[in-house]
Structure 1
Amino acid sequence: MINDELLTAAVRNNAAWCAGMCAAHGLTTTTGPRAWASPRRTPLYYPDAVSLTADATAADVVTDIDLTAPGASVKDSYARLDLAPEGFRPLFDATWIGRPAGTTADPGPAWTRADTPEALAAWAHAWSGGDADEAALFRPALLDDPAVTLLTVPGPDGRILGGAVLSTGAGATGVSNLFAADGTDPAAVWAAALAAADPALPVVGYESGDDLTAALAAGLTELGPLRVWLAP
């Protein structure tokens, strides 16, 4: 039952973070009983719709998004939908992860908030590996969102060793966009993120591949699969 509750929190927290990112780009989104959606194309890497319940249907996730422009995407939160008849193809699979509230976290390395436009720009540059188009995803409007913390792990020389986004929503703290610079152990960044999270709330997110391995090593648990679908 605990994992079911964590999974629900993970799904809804992620939809709230997607809504926050869209808001930072000036987009208005909607949340229904079974799906979150944006009627306009969402920012890079963010879905146009997210299923919120296991019984969501294809109609729930495609009805309120723009299918006339290329590149529509859907996060199938329970990996149960067949969107091929709607013209979508699977893009990637991942795994929801979580940690219950009240879990004691190690202190971890020192961390700071990227809470100024200049610090945000440096954070985004490090996260993107210097790709200006990707870095532009993180707009200064995010600094006005009280639910969002842009966490930075600084090095002694001022270089950014890693970072993550912590987003509060649906009664949980979501960890996303976690990155470690070359030569930095992702375990150190996870330790900082978990230490920064409110211990009264569960920690949730999703990962795949080596990133999933690192999250599980940090003490999070697999909650269930998800799938992202993409239209031509």
Structure 2
Amino acid sequence: MARPVIGIICNHYLINDEYPVHAGGTMNSDAISAVSGCIPMIVPSDPDFVTVNDLMDACDGFLLTGGRPNVHPEEYGEDATEAHGDFDRARDAIALPLVRACVERGQPFLGICRGFQEVNVAMGGSLHPEIRDLPGRMNHRMPPDGTLEEKFENRHTVSFTDGGVFHRLMGAQEVVTNTLHGQGIKQAGARVVVDGVAPDGTPEAIFIKDAPGFTLAVQWHPEYQAAQDPVSRPLFAAFGRAAQAWADGRRLTPAQVA
């Protein structure tokens, strides 16, 4: 049986600050291949190269990855400031309509970090430019120093809604995750259900209410050592089951794969 194809929505990047590429971390591809059981396909996230319809015809599901560029605040009706950081407008132009199309069609996606924020903005929500500047919030950003292992180490708990989608999927109401983000949900978009939060109240896990397909997104980075991590593994495995169902002509909601 052919493996489902997962389009990995990646970022613009400059090698040596001069050679432009579309880049996605190899740990994303590893998680999709080893845990989801799917074929990872890097997507040039630019409307000059692909359309949403092209991608939906070519892929069985989508991984909306993290990345340094943020969603441009114009997408949620605000002006850009220095606190909003760098942007990738070409990715905005692909990822946001792609999320909406997948929600309507029932085609599965999994959002990670920036991808989590894209899902919220695509559904009409807004973002805080810098979580750590809010009263009572912790610093969720990546530690500036240390090894890769130290930067991706688990740093806080995430508490899920009792009996909710993530609780059933993980088999636990509280898990421990890494945290490597500056921005976060300010106002949840239409039908966006916040199903998990950090100790400081920052939204960490969402899905789309009444969507006909798999629409999960998380603010942390589950792709890191996904095959070994007890939180990451069930998330990517469930995503793989949803993608296989789509490839077989069926649709599975998060509740059905949990």
TM-score, normalised by the number of residues in structure 1: 0.29
TM-score, normalised by the number of residues in structure 2: 0.27
